[in-house]
Structure 1
């Protein structure tokens, strides 16, 4: 892809970009809501809202009930640890893209999922060796959409943000990339709708990961 011609570092989002984890996330959240005595939510509605991230989603569902939110989030983490591999799978082309890009580009992973959980999943899918840096939502003191994680990765790998591209499916990915002065690629078959991504104005849209090559 032409956008990669002057790029040394490719940063991938995880959920909704490399792995389709939506069903397991939705199932775990509804199980948590039910266990906490809350009304469960239609899976289709949850899928539309999950691009906000689990914490923001709980704010939307529960409001400012801090104790209840903490309880639900605790149950959610408990259920997700048990269910994370039930239906989660790699997106078509993900492995091939990583194999080919890793031969001539530096690759990193930047997600708002907890780092420990991310590393467990990367190991399960045998993807961890592709990434020189793996940054989770709890690795640094800021997470996407802040550009700070991208700056951190660039500094660690000695690559300028201008020679970096951020690939993701959400506004947080695109906003973080743009704020860091990196190029951005919006994956429209992830968790967000095309309309949501268009509002962020990524440099390029892709419908499949193979288009990156």
Structure 2
């Protein structure tokens, strides 16, 4: 299916994109921050492969998954609030120094953004990443100039898959939901778009907690954003 088929032969007026796993492969830096945290707590490092399966719901959930050693962290005994806060602070400190250092932009991303911008699409980022790290990563990757809006995991009291961050981004961009597209890499993004009533594109190369994205029910699934052109 072509992108224009979702909008009656036209390009969407507003395109909102997830950050980690969609625009940027940030797993090397996130894994470095998590492993530094675990070592500081006297634990064995998790490694990049595991961290790739844990990314997608924000820093706090990432840390909880790392402490549990499992994407389904709620099956395990919860750490005390003091233990959790110590771990979160350690991660923030470590990741703040690594953010963007080893991350890379996925192939096809810049061509897609350049084309969408030239067509006149409003472009925004909607991520569960904390604001301080969101802007830092966009700046480090040289992507900031494409986006008039970046709604992060701590911008509102709720985060994806709640539709409010998506709707908030659309409002800030002066768009409307009827002509909005969400692009992401996980079930979180598909659920966010579904909850907001907008179409979704998902990429196969990102972070979907280790599961296949073709079964998520997205309108379009691609290996590269360049395929949408």
- Please report the TM-score for the alignment, with normalisation by the length of structure 1: 0.91
The residue that corresponds to 1:25 in the other structure is 30
C-alpha change, 1:56 and 1:141, in structure 2 (3 Å) is same
Match 2:205 to one of 177, 185, 189: 189
| Alignment deviations for residues 101-126 of structure 1 (CA, whole Å, 9 cap, x no partner) | 11221101111111122112212222
The residue that corresponds to 2:110 in the other structure is 95
The residue that corresponds to 1:114 in the other structure is 130
In the TM superposition, 1:103-182 aligns within 5 A as 103=118, 104-182=120-198
Q: Counterpart of 1:143 in 2: which secondary structure?
A: coil
The residue that corresponds to 1:50 in the other structure is 55
The residue that corresponds to 1:64 in the other structure is 78
Match 1:83 to one of 98, 105, 111: 98
Aligned residues: 213
**1:112 and 1:137 in contact (8 A); partners too:** yes
Pairwise CA distance, 1:42:
4.0
Distance in 2 between the 1:54 and 1:124 partners? 19
Distance in 2 between the 1:201 and 1:25 partners? 28
Distance in 1 between the 2:172 and 2:154 partners? 18
Aligned CA RMSD, in angstroms, stands at 1.9
Confirm whether residue 8 of structure 1 aligns to residue 13 of structure 2.
Answer: yes
**1:188 and 1:194 in contact (8 A); partners too:** no
Distance in 2 between the 1:193 and 1:111 partners? 16
Match 1:41 to one of 38, 42, 46: 46
| Alignment deviations for residues 80-114 of structure 1 (CA, whole Å, 9 cap, x no partner) | 11112331011112112111111221101111111
**1:171 and 1:196 in contact (8 A); partners too:** no
Distance in 2 between the 1:122 and 1:183 partners? 24
Distance in 2 between the 1:51 and 1:123 partners? 20
Q: Counterpart of 2:55 in 1: which secondary structure?
A: helix
- Please report the TM-score for the alignment, with normalisation by the length of structure 2: 0.85
Pairwise CA distance, 1:160:
2.1
| Alignment deviations for residues 120-172 of structure 1 (CA, whole Å, 9 cap, x no partner) | 22122222121121111111111111000111122223322121010001111
Distance in 2 between the 1:67 and 1:10 partners? 40
Q: Counterpart of 1:11 in 2: which secondary structure?
A: strand
Distance in 1 between the 2:155 and 2:59 partners? 17
